[in-house]
Amino acid sequence: MMLKDPSTKYRHFATVDLPDRTWPGRVQKAAPTWCSVDMRDGNQALIEPMNAERKRRFFDLLVKVGFKQIEVGFPAASQTDFDYLRELIESGAIPDDVTIQVMTQARTHLIERTFEALKGVPRAIVHVYNATAPVFREVVFGVDRAGCVGIATQATREIKALMQANPQTQWTYQYSPETFCFTELDFGLEICEAVIDEFQPTPCNKMILNLPTTVEVATANVFADQIEWFCRQVKKRDSVIISVHPHNDRGTGVATAEQACLAGAERVEGTLFGNGERTGNVDILTLAMNLYTSGISPGLDFSDIIHVQREVEYCNQLPTHPRHPYAGELVFTAFSGSHQDAIKKGFARRRDNPGGYWEIPYLPIDPADMGRNYEAVIRVNSQSGKGGVAYLLEQQGIVLPRRLQMEFSGLVQRVADAKGQEVTSEMILSSFTDHYLERGKPYTLTQPVITSDDAGTYINAQLAFEGGRVTLAGKGNGPLAGLVNAFAAQGLSFDIADYHEHAVRDGAQAEAIAYVEIRVNGQLLFGVGRDHSSLQASLQAVVSAVCRATRQGLLEPIGDVVAALS
């Protein structure tokens, strides 16, 4: 059971004494160097680790997306990784602008095996690590500070010698004080400087100091303070690249990476979609797209996010959460009525300025930039309103007047409440057709003849219904007024309160759709007509409104139409 007083078992992580910190006032202006660790850190977190085929497929995806540094495995610890690395090198699969990275523990036989796997590689980063935090020194390894430093410097000495013995390869050395985030700051600095002294990097031959959030133990701002403090203190700062490797135990991996970059980090290791041990590594997709939506090119291409998602899911055998930032199926989808209305208005405004800054409510990024369409932006359920319904109909070419949006959304709401599930755009269109465009329920207007003279406009037509037909004849100042008066002659009195029409499509196949709002006994309701002729569409819209008013009992039926009304 959870403790009532957790302070008896857990303690707050100590903050960094850095009153003159500068990182909170900085603004990110460029992307860091990205290093994918999907095939090592991500792979070791999978229920079923990737085989050679899935690893190669993942490698090809990472290259296509634009990663220039890719950690391909732990060749000294796994024959699968060893063989995969050899296949990459011997087949010439590594592009000229891509550097592979491999990891090894600080143990002589593993280091030697690592270099055996790397034989003939054109460029490589050799990454060695050892745990530095007190709990690891004391509980896991049983060494003091000096012993811990000795492990790191001995490994560095061996790696440097092997690099010098293989000058045909362009080498980069990377050292990680594993568990840096909960290592004493002064000791983290001490061990890194001891490694620097041993390796002797220069501004022309830099080494990487990778400072991991191995397990998140504090808020992101504390880690940023650690990074800024370290960057200020470390010797030969111009000869080292500061890298971070955040995990996500507290759910703040992205914030940790972003704030660390403000504090001086130049490089980030992470995975696509954040797969990794426990709650995962930092999600490079989210980091990259956060930069993109700030107007900064991330240097990675997620133009076809659906392809990327499918490939990652295939290789990792893990699903993507539907609400995953930028990539989830539902991240660009609004069900809320107020959200839908705001999005609809945003798209309408953007049509007037398509080249301007992206400013659509509730959509921080244009889905089209990631290869997504707008079909899933608005979906309707019982939480939705008129804006969402109207937007989905607009995708079908039907632009409802505002009061008709309100009227029809009430009908859709009742359908959604009854079904208790999402109402698809196909269901909405079908419902709209049933309520407004179906003819013969109970009336159908046929054979309309329109004539005009100086006295006005005349209409003669047949009004068919089940069981018979009547002749409609009327006169007015236009066709619609003439039709209204023709209905009045049959005892159906109403007037037209509003009228709208628009084209559904352009060219020879253009159709017109007309919306007529009638007032019957103080009540308003719409009718809709659709035809290649705008005149015919407007006449049909009047008849549609009369049919709906008759079905609702607002108008008395003409003749024997009881069967049709049922």
Over the stretch 344-377, which tens digit does the pLDDT of each residue have?
889 889 989 999 999 999 899 999 999 987 766 6
In this prediction, residue 563 has a pLDDT band, given cuts at 50, 70 and 90, of very low
Please give the order of strands across the beta sheet that includes 444-453.
Answer: 444-453, 456-465, 468-476
Cis peptide before 442 (omega within 30 of 0): yes
In this prediction, residue 565 has a pLDDT band, given cuts at 50, 70 and 90, of very low
The lowest-confidence range among 162-171, 229-238, 377-386, 504-513 is 377-386
Task: Name 503's bridge partners.
Answer: 512
Q: What single DSSP character describes residue 271?
A: B
* Cα–Cα distance measured from residue 429 to residue 440, given in angstroms and rounded to the nearest whole number: 19
Instruction: For tokens 């983290």, name the residue.
Output: 188
Angle at 503 between CA 501 and CA 509, to 5 degrees: 145
pLDDT digit string, tens, across residues 53-92: 999 999 999 999 999 999 999 999 889 899 999 999 999 9
| For range 199-216, the mean pLDDT | 97
* Residue 564, pLDDT score: 44
In this prediction, residue 566 has a pLDDT band, given cuts at 50, 70 and 90, of very low
pLDDT digit string, tens, across residues 18-37: 999 999 999 999 999 999 99
Mean pLDDT of the chain: 91
* Residue 549, pLDDT score: 92
Comparing CA positions, the residue from 324, 320, 304 lying closest to residue 312 is 320
* Residue 381, pLDDT score: 60
SS3 label, residue 402: helix
| For range 523-540, the mean pLDDT | 92
C-beta pairs of 407-411 under 8 Å, 24+ apart in sequence: 407/525, 407/526, 408/432, 408/435, 408/436, 408/526, 409/384, 409/385, 411/435
* Cα–Cα distance measured from residue 493 to residue 521, given in angstroms and rounded to the nearest whole number: 9
Ramachandran region, residue 559 (left: φ > 0; alpha: ψ -120 to 50; beta: rest): left
Please give the C-alpha separations between residue 136 and each of 143, 176, 329, 480, in angstroms, as whole numbers.
9, 14, 41, 87
* Residue 440, pLDDT score: 56
Beta strands in 37-122 (DSSP E): 69-73, 99-105
pTM over 0.85: no
DSSP string of 278-334, one letter each residue: TT-B-BHHHHHHHHHTTT---S---TTHHHHHHHHHHHHT-PPPTT-TTTSTTTT-B
* Residue 415, pLDDT score: 74
